[in-house]
Structures are given as structure tokens and as C-alpha cells.
Amino acid sequence: MAIEHDYFGLLESGPDGSIFWSEVVDFGDQRVTVDLTAPDQDDVSIDALDVAAAMIAALESIDLRARNAMVSELDDRTSEVTEFILQQQEILGEDIEDFLVDVSGDTHMDVIRSLQLMSMTILADEHGGKDPFAVLEYALDPDSTDDVLLVNLDVSGAVQSVTSAD
């Protein structure tokens, strides 16, 4: 069985009933991998696919919302964002400036500005649920796949949480 959608085209399920769609989209001067997945095609509605397509189209505003959520966590020294930035400073040392798009003197803000959006994973079966509907993955060093921040979004695009991959 398959689902047809204007944006995603024909989504065919695998032998286990799961669906998966992936595409690389242009985002500013970056290329971002967007994946849509669900373990059971029967749990995916056309409404969920419509919301997913709208999120992809609104990636710029969603990215801004995610970065603002990161900034709001900087006041908390124990937040995942603060810990991530401190970890990056420790790992990269003085070389951190090589990864920054701007050096303003506020390293925490410079790191958040310089994070690259690596991927967006849409969990299409979570439409209407409490779990994240989409997860954005950010990295300062795109070659370091373990050192990432994950921003979890609900179906409305609101930030639920920001966590590190650790």
C-alpha cells in the first residue's frame, strides 16, 4: 500500500509497513538532509504530511525559532546548550574560531550563530502526539557527527526541548 501526497509524491511502505522519504534541500548556503519517517504507514495521515511539507517550506523561520530557544537557555549554566558550547570550546580550543562565522567576543552567541543545520527528521506518525514531530540536528563541526545539538519540535513547530546527542 502507498500514500500519495502533493509534496512528497508517492510514499510506498516497506515490507514491514514503514515509510521513509529523504531529500537534500537548499537552505541559505547549506544543504540540509530532510527525512520523513514512520514505523507504520497506517499511523500517517494526510494532515501529518501537510504539516511536514509546511515545516520544510518554513525551514528558515523554524531555524530561527530553534536558535532563539538555544539563546534562551544560555542563562542556565547547566543547560544542554551551555554544556554543549563549553564542550566544543574544550574540544576545539583556540581552533574554535575557525568554525565561527563571526567573532564578536561573545563566544556563546558566536557558536549558536555558527551552528550548521545538518538535518531535519520528521516523525510523521507523531502528528497529534506528545512526542516530537520533528527533530533538527545542529553541529559546529559538520565532520563531527557525535557533537550535535538536537532541537525537538511539536506539530505546530514550537520548540519542545534542546538536547545534546550525548
- Is the pLDDT at 129 greater than 70? The verdict is yes
Distance of CA 18 to the CA centre of its chain: 21
- Which residue's entry shows cell 509524491? 9
**pLDDT of 138:** 96
Read off the pLDDT of residues 54-96 as tens digits, 9 standing for 90 and up. 999 999 999 999 999 999 999 998 999 999 999 999 998 989 9
Confidence of residue 50 (pLDDT cuts 50, 70, 90): very high
Which of 150, 152, 151, 154 has its CA nearest to residue 130? Answer: 154
DSSP H helical segments within 7-163, as ranges? 46-57, 59-72, 80-92, 107-114
What is the pTM assigned to this prediction?
0.93
What is the overall mean pLDDT for the chain? Answer: 92
Distance of CA 115 to the CA centre of its chain: 11
Strands annotated E in the chain: 2-5, 9-12, 19-27, 30-38, 116-123, 134-139, 148-153, 159-164
**pLDDT of 12:** 87
Read off the pLDDT of residues 134-165 as tens digits, 9 standing for 90 and up. 999 999 988 887 899 999 999 999 999 999 87
- Is the pLDDT at 166 greater than 70? The verdict is no
